Amino acid sequence: MNSIKLCLQLAFIGLLWSSCVNESTVPETDILHDSWSEIEKKAEGSTVAFMMWQGSPVLNEYINNYLVPTLKEKYDIRLEISGGQGPEIVKLVMGEKQANVDDGQVDMVWINGETFFQLRKIDGLWGPFVEKLPSSEYVNFDNKFISVDFQQPIEYMEAPWGMGQFALVYDTARTAVPPRNLTELETYIKANPGSFTISNDFSGMTLLKVFMAELGGSPGSLDGPFDQVKYDKLSKQLWDFINSNKRYFWKKGTNFPKEHTKMDQMFATGELGLIYGFSEGGVESKVEQGLYPKSTRAYVWDNGTVLNSNFLGIPYNSGNKAGAMVAINFMMSPEGQYNRKVISGRESRTILDMDLLPEEWKQKFENVPKRKYSPDQEVMAQKAIQEPAPEYMINLFEDFRTEVIEK
């Protein structure tokens, strides 16, 4: 009796084992040599698994109620959304690479320079595919805010999808004149102790990069490859500035919020008076949702703030590269971009170049309602600075912890 049980159990393990080992291997045909219509035909009836950050209600609205049905209708592609950003995507691809999974879980990912850098480091992306997409003709790849991602050339390995500029946010009802440089910031926090902090995440580190560029003396002071000597000198000044003033920070600088969403809430409740974030601080949608008061305004730093693009990439082991390409092409097209702007609000900036667009689309884009709570894109763009090399961010993360949080 026992031996039968044992046999059954062994068989069970065998079954488990074989189901793990028998990965279906998809024959790798080089679809980059196919014509676009052949690629569209291949994509027909397929399912594209899209992993994206789902933290923006207005963008989710665009994806779920516009993009998913439109892709189904136009190309017979089923778009499946799963949640995950930066570290999760990298961990997933790393794990699959380690396990030699040929047919990956995800066909398409939404990434920015940070993740792009990490995925390139582990050879996790497939490409170069962007030139192949018909929509690319409307994109100006000479624009360094599009073709260079955190100082790395994108080399057609990721397709631009959206752009956002970092901005600071304040409430005109509470603050008459917001600070626009580090000297003014010092005066501001001394007058309003407890109402400013630095989140220990992407947004906070971007703010530190903006500060560092100012300490460097010009908007372009951090451009170029990572420079350790420059970093050491500027970061020391930065930590000195923060440490000598942090007693006026939120919680007297003894603690820092883990992420900027917490800061957003504290701004809404009045605990903080000055916050910041990408996509112009997200003020347009947050005022519209009623989270922020109507007297809220976004503005840029005198020395400029970071402007960067976000991208769509295809993991190296995607099982449906054709489908992902067709979906990405549509998301980059004038139609996809225009509807994103209309549905997901004024703060979404298109990656298309107005001069390259056909006249009818150009008109449509120009007639989109203007922003209410943040400066015009053109005004902001004059104060745009490029994302510094990713090593700046990595070092800032480490040192912010050791030099500020733990002190």
Tokens 């499946």 map to which residue?
Answer: 80
226 binds another protein (CB under 8 A): no
6 binds another protein (CB under 8 A): yes
Smallest separation, CB 270 to another protein (Å): 6
For residues 260 to 289, the per-residue mask of contacts with another protein, x marking binding by CB under 8 A and - elsewhere, is: -----xx--xxx------------------
359 binds another protein (CB under 8 A): no
90 binds another protein (CB under 8 A): yes
Binding residue count for another protein, defined by CB under 8 A: 38
- Residues β-bridged to residue 19: none
- Helices 202-215/228-245 angle, 10° precision: 110
Query: Cα(407)–Cα(253) distance, rounded to whole angstroms?
Result: 10
Query: Which of 299, 199, 186, 181 has the alpha carbon at shortest distance from 250?
Result: 199
Applying CB under 8 A, among 24, 37, 98, 228 the residue interacting with another protein is 98
Smallest separation, CB 117 to another protein (Å): 9
SS3 per-residue string spanning 279-315 = CHHHHHHHHHCCCCCCCEEEECCCCCEEEEEEEEECE
Query: Which of 329, 325, 391, 351 has the alpha carbon at shortest distance from 31?
Result: 325
For residues 13 to 32, the per-residue mask of contacts with another protein, x marking binding by CB under 8 A and - elsewhere, is: x-------------------
Q: Which tokens belong to 158?
A: 């990721």
220 binds another protein (CB under 8 A): no
Percent helix / strand / coil, the chain, rounded to 5: 50, 15, 35
Which of 2/37 has CB closer to another protein? 2
Cis peptide before 128 (omega within 30 of 0): yes
101 binds another protein (CB under 8 A): no
Q: How many helices (H) and strands (E) does the chain have?
A: 17, 11
Smallest separation, CB 50 to another protein (Å): 21
Three-state DSSP class for residue 169? strand
406 binds another protein (CB under 8 A): yes
Which of the ranges 29-37, 182-190, 258-266, 342-350 carries the binding residues for another protein, by CB under 8 A? Answer: 258-266
Query: Cα(363)–Cα(229) distance, rounded to whole angstroms?
Result: 48
Applying CB under 8 A, among 74, 91, 236, 372 the residue interacting with another protein is 91
Q: List contacts with another protein (CB under 8 A).
A: 5-6, 9, 13, 86-87, 90-91, 94, 97-98, 114, 118, 121-122, 193-195, 200, 251, 254-258, 265-266, 269-271, 390, 393-394, 397-398, 401, 405-406
